[in-house]
Structure 1
Amino acid sequence: MTKSSELDLSVNPESSAPGEAVSRGSRSTARKTEAASALAARAARKDKKHPAAVLVTMLAVGGMFGVMGLPAYAMNPTDASTSADASSLPAQSVVSSASTAAAASARDGFTATTPEELEAQKLATEQAATAAASAAARITSYVYSDPGPRQAGDDYPFGGMGTGLSVLGYYMGECTDFVAWRLNRDAGSTGAPFAWAWGNLTPGGGNASSWTSAWNNHGWPVSGVPVAGAVAVTEYMHVAYVKEVLGDGSVLIEEYNYGNYHQYGSRVIPAGSATYLYPPG
């Protein structure tokens, strides 16, 4: 190659030689690099003079990365499910039922007591105390009038007469009819019209199980202290007649239909094993 041709190639802008194209690209890249370096230097000088700019730049860059990391659907303006206006949603209301209000007063298995309930409980307690004091006063003031010597043994007039009702209104040969007879005898009423019969003695029922409640309804004394002439309500809702309170505190009772069908009998029981219905009237 001649010298002139070499010179022509080095200065010909239209030349398409690969070496020359690479040289131009290198120079362009270098110029861009130098410009970027200059800009970076100026920015660095500015950042040194203004520290707040550094913080703003860091926040801006962090925000850009944060936005880029959001899910795609969060940035989709066409998603109706995320762009709904809260003011367009239907209004909601809460209705509190009576059962809900009642349940609200219960906590940990305990129910709150209202002032009215407390007052009712107080009144019930006072009434029970008054009734107990009244019953104790009746027992304390009760004086049993001993009718005199009692006939020994079985004096029941309706024994062996069948199983129907006696004139006293109880079944003959039963414990209740025998005790009703003894109460009449002690009151001096040994013939018709009798002082005490089913209608005015235990009108709520003839069974022995109803005698204590009948005494309470009448307001007659009911006690744990035995007296002669009283009715003893023993086990199995059986009634017997108290003939005598013995010196050791035990009680001698007479009865019918206890362990022997429709027959008379007597036995001694502990005083605390029965409830005692004092003679009526």
Structure 2
Amino acid sequence: MVDYTPSGSSDDLFATEATPQPVQYTSRREAREALAAQSSAAGKPARRSVAPEVRVAPAEVRRELAQPAMGAVRASVAAQPKRNPLSVLATMAVVGGLFAVAGLPAYAQQEAESTTADAAPAGVAQSIEVDDDAVTGLATRDGFLATTPEQLAQANEDALRAAANEAYLASGARELGDDYPWPYELTDDQGGGLSPLNYYYRECVDFVAWRINRDQGYYAAPFKWVWSNLTPYGGNGGQWQYNWEALGRTVSNVPIPGAVAYTGGNHVAYVKSVNADGTVTLEEYNYVPGMYSQRTIPASSVVSFLYPPS
């Protein structure tokens, strides 16, 4: 603000017109900007040494100058439309919900940490009291026995026996006259063992040894004729003639019922009947593998007939 109020005599008044009077500015920034404008108009760089005296307006003057600006701000605020209180509440509710959702993981983590903190430290033993009835109930269990390899093998053998017996019954061997006691037992090839006669089950030699015992009245153990006294020099079918000769028994070309027919190779059969046409009817096991069968052949085709021992 420029102060033009005269003071003193008329000479002073004229002197005032010739001498620049101090100018008052509201701030130092305004003074610097005015000095720069004067220097630019004169075409000279601004020099602080020749600048007119700058006086900063008192605080009261600055407040008066600032009053119009504050009034403009208040007018601008007053001119803005007022918001609906319901929309404000809705906005606050949404914002609050967002904060709540964002806080859930932290809350869950805090709960987990709290649970972990409540647990007993590692290495510290805890004592728990359990009711005796509960302990007894847990200790009680049904009996269970594991199947042993022997039991599995036995089950497999039983299955094979059942299958052999079924096949035997379907063959009609009983109707033909077979009375061999062990037609369902496993053969040597199936892992079977020795019969009470000490020959392998369902072999030709075991069947013939059975028939020799049966014809002499031995239907069950102890049998009269077993491997050790019937064929002590070898029990295979090909060794029977040698045993008969070594023991002084009759070996003949003339067939008789009940004789042993050695047909050659490693096979023997039982002579069921001698026929008028020069044939013989034989009963045998293992001519059909593991099975009972009958056949009628010329007597001349038999290698030898071994008469039963007395």
Q: Which band: TM-score by shorter chain?
A: 0.3 to 0.5
Which has the greater radius of gyration? 2
TM-score normalised according to structure 2 size: 0.41
TM-score normalised according to structure 1 size: 0.45
